[in-house]
Every structure is written in C-alpha cells, then in structure tokens.
Amino acid sequence: MRFGRHLSNTPKGLQEAQSIGCDAIQVFLTNPRGWAAPAHNPALVKAFRAAAERYGQSPVVVHAAYLINLASPRPEIFDKSVTLLRATLERASLYGASSVVFHVGSATGTGEEAGLERLVAGVRQVMTGAPEDVMLLLENDTGGGGKVGYRFENLALVLAALPEFGARLGVCLDTAHLWAAGYDIGTPAGARAVLDQADSIIGLDRVPVLHVNDAREACGSHRDIHARIGEGMIPVEGLTAFLRDPRVAHTTGILETPIPTLAEDNNAPDWAAERAHMALARSVAGLAMPPLPALVASDEPDAEDDAPVTHAG
C-alpha cells in the first residue's frame, strides 16, 4: 500500500509530502469550491511533474471540485458538472495523475433512482473521449440529503451500466464516509464484513484508492466531519483490520484530515505534528515511514559555511 495525504498541487506541496512521510499525494487542480478551471499553466505542470519525481510521490490522485453533481435534477448544474469533471480529467492527465476522485452527488428530492440515472448519463458524457490514462473514481458518501453514493449497490450500478469504459472507471472508499453511512468498521469483524460486502458488490479490484479518515460523529450519523486518525469515533482496532486486510494491499491510502496548526505562529501548519500523525496512520495500516532522503552533497566549495540542509521540514 502506498500512503499519503491531500496537499497542494505545487512543488512545495510535494516537498512537504515527502518531509512528513508520504509516498503518494492527492491534490486539487481547480478551486474546490468553484466552477472554473484555471487557465492551463504548462510551466506549473512541468514543475509539478518534475517535483513529483524528485520527491518520490506516486501515484498522484486528483480530487475534483465539490460543486460537481452529476445526479442533479437541474440541467445547468448537471451541464456545468460534466464540463468541469471532464476538464479535471484532462488536466489530471497533463499532471501525470493516475485517477480523479469525485463526489457522485445528490438527487436533491427527486429520488434515488432518477438521480442514479442522471449520474450514469453524466459519467458517460464525461468519459466519452476523455484521456485514457486517468481513471475516474466514484467516491462513496455519507448518505442523507439525497446523496446517492452511500450504498455499495448504487456505486456498483454505475460501474455495471458503463462496461464500455472497463477498468478506467472505479471507486474510492472513504473510511469516514463508510462509518457515517452506517457501515460499522469499528471492530475487526465489522471491518472484514464491510470489505466482504464491498468485494462481492463492487469488487475490491475496482477500488484503487482509499480515503483514510477518522469520523467525528457516530456510525450512521450521515454527517461528514473528518477527524485525525485515533481522534474520532472509529475504534482504531477496526481501522487497523480494515487497512491491513490483504484485499486492500493494492490500494493507495490518502489522509484528508485537518493539519495541526501552531497557535503561536499565526496558525501555520505544524508539519512536525503532522509527520507524527502520518507515522501513526501508517502504523495503523501496517506501514513503516519511508526513509528520509539522503542529504544531497553540494558542488559548491564553500557549502560547509552554510547552515545544514535538512529535508525534515
């Protein structure tokens, strides 16, 4: 299992990822709360790809904007969603990303069946003619509010309705969303039973990415509030069994948890604390921290006069 977290789509984000113990990263490529894809910037893309290589971050997973709702009954929302998700896939291909994760959306009062029909039609529009080197992943959601992605059956229905895209279409499972939707992964037996269901209904071979989050509210609450691993309501022994199950060994785990901040430093990110959290999360998944890179010797003859370079952030 590769393991990382959500950070910024810049060389600095990739360097931070390496320094806190990631070997994979998730990024936004567009404003997550807007409809516009920013102008294509080839220089930024080139710098990002070089930095992903330099800092050993692979795969790169892209999270699409939150406004996207392919299950929406409103034609203008549906159309904007198709356009933005397609643009995100195209942009993700340029960035060398392996997949784009998106929230499958809400039928907003029109019923699940109609919402799923629109979702299938929307995914078909997005994928037809899209770059073939990037997967599109439907993320499971918490249910409530007309959200249609809370049941494995609903996600599987979309995959089954679109066989023409084969393995380019898949699912991202978020542990906090599973919990909030009522899938009790809080015990080893519960975690195994949920994975049994996911495997028989979706097929875990169709799940290349896990969002690894603890949840602040109770199982079945339908509330989507992420907590750091061990600080929420999901018992660690359940998460441990879930993440160490051999059937998810091929996945990439991504934390989408709040980064600790330094009150005494204008709430700047506390990367040392996040590195400790990453070490904890990785150990829950049965993973060691990746080795820190060796310090690169400088060619400069007077380098010994400089302060030592550290990569530990």
> Which residues make up the interface to Zn ion (CB under 5 A)?
174, 211, 224, 256
**Minimum CB–partner distance for residue 253 and Zn ion (Å):** 11
d(CA 83, CA 72): 14
Q: Please, what is the minimum distance in Å from the beta carbon of residue 153 to Zn ion? A: 20
The residue (of 51 and 238) whose beta carbon lies closer to Zn ion is 238
Nearer to Zn ion by Cβ, of 231 and 256: the residue is 256
Tokens encoding 19: 């320094």
State the nearest-atom distance from the C-beta of 139 to Zn ion, in Å.
6
Question: Any idea what the Cα angle at residue 121 is, between residues 119 and 125, rounded to 5°?
Answer: 115
Work out how close the CB of 256 gets to Zn ion at its nearest, in angstroms, rounded to a whole number: 5
The closest alpha carbon to 134, from 160, 95, 107, 164, belongs to 95
User: Which of 5, 9, 22, 2 is CA-nearest to residue 226?
Assistant: 5
Instruction: Please give the structure tokens belonging to residue 136.
Output: 């599109």
Q: How far is the CB of 58 from Zn ion (least distance, A)?
A: 20
Coarse DSSP helix, strand, coil percentages of the chain, rounded to the nearest 5 percent: 40, 15, 45
- Give the DSSP H/E element, type plus range, for residue 47: helix 42-54
Measured from the CB atom, is 23 or 174 closer to Zn ion? Answer: 174
Pick between residue 94 and residue 105 the one whose CB is nearest to Zn ion. 105
Measured from the CB atom, the residue of 94 and 212 that comes closer to Zn ion is 212
Min CB(301)–Zn ion separation in Å: 49
Point out the residue whose Cβ comes nearest to Zn ion: 211
* CB closer to Zn ion, 32 vs 34: 32
Burial 29-45 (b: 16+ CB within 10 A, else e): bbeeeeeebeeeeeeeb
